[in-house]
Every structure is written in structure tokens, then in C-alpha cells.
């Protein structure tokens, strides 16, 4: 792996998780009123949880340290050991979370292939395993919104409603990994509750496009959150003066949502620029929010080689498959950075095409 030249000019498109807190967030951390959250005595955490529940149109919420823990806590609290859960075959829970729902929650994942991250309700129905002497009873369906590996695609409120109908008809719960749910809401220009009303519970991340340093929030009924809190404690996620995490979270919910539109605009600009570079292919239909997936197969190299070459020139991207690369826009990446990145990518592609490896 090469060393980037002039680190001050790095354009980091690996993820929106690399965003740093704003000055206002750092001030809010300093000023936060604190208490012991395990005793429910941190006023800043309590305020964030109330705000989050209200914003999502649910009864209660719970702050957890990460999106991965939020998913594990939620799947565990929605199921019992030996149950099965239907999830989209490329979803984060299935791909990136070390199989925690199997190894810790004791849940059998039943992957269902979707189109652009969206499962067909008929396929969901067909995957349900009944309670018999032989099968792991299905009790949960999980959706991901926006869908990361599909390229930040939006599962529309209508599509959620259709899946929720199947879930309801069969007595299953519906959970949403809404790590980037505000990107979905901003993309469709609708209130986030349009996405949450048909799910039983969900999580969203503060630490991605919303720019917080740490934190995700699980949201659902009072009863579910009580259960989730016990699971969080079991996993070692009971935090003490967690107001220092909640304080920037409050600012994120108040001020950082609408600006996601800038990230979407930049992602579009990036995707359209990439799509016309010889040897790089992009499915523009999937570019709906702040994620761009590109394939470098046409250049005759693997993603790793391409990503390393970009890194040497100061552009950071993520390998997500043999020839697939992901780029994500976020606060701190401006239109000029996209233009600069495109020039560099075009140069690198040309070098590779000329056999200059």
C-alpha cells in the first residue's frame, strides 16, 4: 500500500463514518449536564432518547455505542435463541457484523436476495419457517435503509408497508437497520416517520453522515426498549456519563439532517463523472443518496490495485468486492473535492489502461 502524497490534500471517500464532530458539537460536549446513565440519571442522554423517540414516532429510545451493537441488541430483544430471522442477503447484519446474531443472539439468519437492496414480499413470505418439530421458527424480518452494499438505495415507505403486511399476517416482527435512515428521508423529501410507521422498531446511527463521533439509537415501544436495555447491559454497553456522547447527538438531530442533501448532490456528481471514465462502470440507478459503487473490471485490475493506486494520489476509497469499490460523500467533502478526485481517478484509470501498473 502506497503512502499518500501530501496528507493535507487527502480526499477521504471511504465512509461517512470518518466525519469529525463540528465545533458546536465539541462545545456541547464540554457544556453537557452529566449523570450516571445506568441509573437513568444522565439528563443529556434522557433528552436525546426522548427527542429520538419523538422524531421516529415511537414510545422510547436507547443510546448505544455503535450501529453493530444497536443491531445485535435489537435482534436479540426481538427474538429468542433458536428462532430464525429473514434478512436481505447483502445486508450489513449478515455481511459485516461477525455473525453476532448467530454466535451471540443464537438466531439463524435466513438470507433473501433483494433487488437494489429491497426484498420482494413474496420471497419474504416464502422464506418463513413455521414452528414445527424440525425448524427454527421465524419470528423476525430485518430490512436495511438505506441499503449500504446495494449502493445507498432507499427502501420506500410503500415497499416497507408491503413487507410489513407479510410480517403482520404471519405474526412476525419487522426491524429496520436505519443506520442511514435520514439519508432516505432527505432523498425522498418526506418525514422520517413515513419510513418508521410500518416497522416495529429500528436503529439509526449518529456517527455517520450526521457527524457525531460515537453513537447509535435503538427506537421502539417502551416494552421493547426495556428489554433492549437489559441486552445492552449484558453486552457491556451500559455507559455512565454518556451525556458526552448524547450532547452532539442532540445537535445532530436538530441541525445536521438537512445538509445530507449536499452529500447526495456530490455523490451524483461523482457517479456521473465516474460513469464516463473508460473501464469504470457505475449503475446510476443505485445512486440515490451518498454512496457510489463502481466496478473496475473493465480496467482489467482488481479493486485492491485500483484502491492502492488512488491512495498514492491522495484519494481514499473502500474495496467492497473483487472488482467493486465504494465511495461515500459526507460533510467535509465539497464539490471541488469531487472535481479533484474525478481528475485523479481519470488519470489513474488512464495509467492502468496504458499498462502502467
Exposed / middle / buried, residue 257 (Cβ in 10 Å: 0-12, 13-18, 19+):
middle
Of residues 12, 83, 88, 177, which one binds ligand TLP by CB under 6 A? 177
Closer to ligand TLP by CB, 73 or 250: give it: 73
Q: Check if the beta carbon of residue 211 is closer than 8 Å to that of residue 19.
A: yes
Name residue, grid cell 463514518.
Answer: 17
For residue 77, the SS3 value is helix
Strand partners, 138: 84
Number of residues that bind ligand TLP (CB under 6 A): 15
Does position 88 interact with ligand TLP (CB under 6 A)? The reply is: no
Does position 116 interact with ligand TLP (CB under 6 A)? The reply is: no
What cell was used for 214?
A: 460515537
Query: Under rule CB under 6 A, which residues in 213-252 are in contact with ligand TLP?
Result: 216
DSSP H or E stretch at residue 38: none
Q: Which stretch binds ligand TLP (CB under 6 A): 66-74, 107-115, 126-134, 308-316?
A: 66-74
Nearest Cα to Cα of residue 2 among 348, 276, 353, 350: 348
Strand partners, 326: 293, 318
Residue nearest to ligand TLP (CB): 67
In the complex, least distance from residue 295 CB atom to ligand TLP, rounded to whole angstroms: 18
In the complex, least distance from residue 91 CB atom to ligand TLP, rounded to whole angstroms: 7
Does position 144 interact with ligand TLP (CB under 6 A)? The reply is: yes
Of residues 12, 15, 73, 157, which one binds ligand TLP by CB under 6 A? 15
For residue 221, the SS3 value is coil
Residues that bind ligand TLP (CB under 6 A): 15, 17, 66-68, 71, 92, 96, 144, 148, 177, 179, 205, 207, 216
Amino acid at each position: 500500500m502506497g503512502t499518500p502524497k501530501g496528507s493535507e490534500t487527502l480526499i477521504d471517500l471511504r465512509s461517512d463514518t470518518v466525519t469529525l464532530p463540528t465545533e458546536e458539537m465539541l462545545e456541547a460536549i464540554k457544556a453537557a449536564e452529566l449523570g450516571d446513565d445506568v441509573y437513568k440519571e444522565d439528563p443529556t442522554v434522557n433528552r436525546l432518547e426522548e427527542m429520538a423517540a419523538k422524531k421516529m414516532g415511537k414510545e422510547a429510545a436507547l443510546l448505544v455505542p455503535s450501529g453493530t451493537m444497536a443491531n445485535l441488541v435489537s435482534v436479540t430483544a426481538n427474538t429468542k435463541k433458536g428462532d430464525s430471522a429473514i434478512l436481505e442477503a447483502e445486508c450489513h447484519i449478515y455481511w459485516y457484523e461477525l455473525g453476532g446474531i448467530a454466535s451471540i443472539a443464537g438466531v439463524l439468519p435466513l438470507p433473501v436476495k433483494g433487488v437494489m437492496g429491497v426484498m420482494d414480499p413474496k420471497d419474504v413470505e416464502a422464506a418463513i419457517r413455521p414452528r414445527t418439530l424440525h425448524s427454527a421458527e421465524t419470528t423476525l424480518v430485518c430490512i436495511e435503509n438505506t441499503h449500504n452494499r446495494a449502493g445507498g438505495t432507499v427502501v420506500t415507505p410503500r415497499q416497507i408497508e408491503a413487507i410489513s403486511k407479510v410480517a403482520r399476517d404471519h405474526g412476525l416482527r419487522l426491524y429496520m437497520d436505519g443506520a442511514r435512515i435520514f439519508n432516505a428521508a432527505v432523498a425522498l423529501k418526506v418525514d422520517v416517520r413515513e419510513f418508521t410507521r410500518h416497522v416495529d422498531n429500528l436503529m439509526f446511527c449518529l456517527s455517520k453522515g450526521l457527524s457525531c463521533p460515537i453513537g447509535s439509537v435503538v427506537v421502539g415501544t417502551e416494552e421493547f426498549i426495556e428489554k433492549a436495555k437489559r441486552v445492552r447491559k449484558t453486552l457491556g454497553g451500559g455507559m455512565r456519563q454518556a451525556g458526552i456522547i448524547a450532547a452532539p447527538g442532540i445537535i445532530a438531530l436538530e441541525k445536521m439532517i438537512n445538509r445530507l442533501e449536499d452529500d447526495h448532490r456530490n455523490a451524483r456528481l461523482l457517479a456521473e463523472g465516474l460513469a464516463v471514465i473508460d473501464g469504470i462502470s457505475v449503475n446510476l440507478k443505485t445512486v440515490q443518496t451518498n454512496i457510489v459503487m463502481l466496478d473496475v473490471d473493465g480496467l482489467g485490475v482488481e479493486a485492491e490495485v485500483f484502491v492502492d493506486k488512488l491512495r498514492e494520489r491522495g484519494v481514499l476509497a473502500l474495496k467492497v468486492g473483487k472488482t467493486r469499490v465504494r465511495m461515500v460523500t459526507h460533510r467535509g467533502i465539497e464539490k471541488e473535492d469531487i472535481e479533484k478526485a474525478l481528475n485523479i481517478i481519470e488519470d489513474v484509470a488512464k495509467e492502468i489502461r496504458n499498462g502502467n501498473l
